[in-house]
Amino acid sequence: MPVPIKNSADESAALAALFDLVSMGFAYPSQDLYRALIDGRYIEAAESNVALLGNPPALVEALQSLAVGLKTLAVDYSHRQLESEYNALFELSRDEAPLHLNAHLYMESRPDPVPVYRRLQKIYREFALELNDEKATESPDHLAVELEFVAYLFDLLQLTQCGEREDSVERIQHGLSAFFDELAWAEKFIDALERRSGHPFYQPLGNLLRTLIRQREVVSGLASV
């Protein structure tokens, strides 16, 4: 039976950590990420934060699938192979169009990306977050960037709940609720990923993301906003 959460700040911190882990997973795979995937640190961090949420059954099941996939990754994949398959799935592919990780490609009528970028940058700025154009390698609508922003908002919420930051809990919760609407496109991406790939890491990672998004009202209190 799930353990009831006694401290909503702990809950917010756990959600920040989980969305940050998924964000890192959908970023280009660095050597550091690869090591964390194969030595168990990645799944251990995910499991410990799901435990802080009271181990919701859907999230536990999603983590079990991810853990199985990571065991396969540790045995069968080098870092170079993981990089190659990331490129083939999400960036460049000789055989079929890649599943790019950009929101505008999954929106209705495939809008011009520039207005999408501007709208997202405006949202980021409302919470004092400015993308570094000189260092940023991904566009504002890249899945890893959007998930990093969700993690950032949950971090702000946790700091505010603890009294370490002067802000409005309601303002941040409203921002989270609104941004989850922005993330609606991710469902189409995850469906496409499941149809395309049985990849031992990316397919269960997509399922974990979908479960997190669908569980947000249950575990984060956003339903009342």
* 3-state class (DSSP) for residue 7: coil
Would you say 176 and 220 are in contact if contact means Cβ atoms under 8 Å apart? yes
Would you say 204 and 62 are in contact if contact means Cβ atoms under 8 Å apart? yes
Statement: residue 225 has pLDDT above 60:
no
* Tens-place pLDDT, residues 33-43: 999 999 999 99
The DSSP output letter for 53 is T
Strands (E), 25-109: none
Domains of the chain: 8-224 (1.10.3480.10)
Alpha-carbon span 172 to 122, nearest angstrom:
15
Cα angle value 207/210/213 (rounded, 5°): 150
pLDDT score, position 6: 44
* Tens-place pLDDT, residues 123-176: 999 998 887 766 557 899 999 999 999 999 999 999 999 888 888 899 999 999
For the chain, give the mean pLDDT.
89
| DSSP β-bridge partners for residue 142 | 102
**Which amino acid is present at 58?**
A
* Tens-place pLDDT, residues 43-81: 999 999 999 999 999 999 999 999 999 999 999 999 999
Would you say 179 and 149 are in contact if contact means Cβ atoms under 8 Å apart? yes
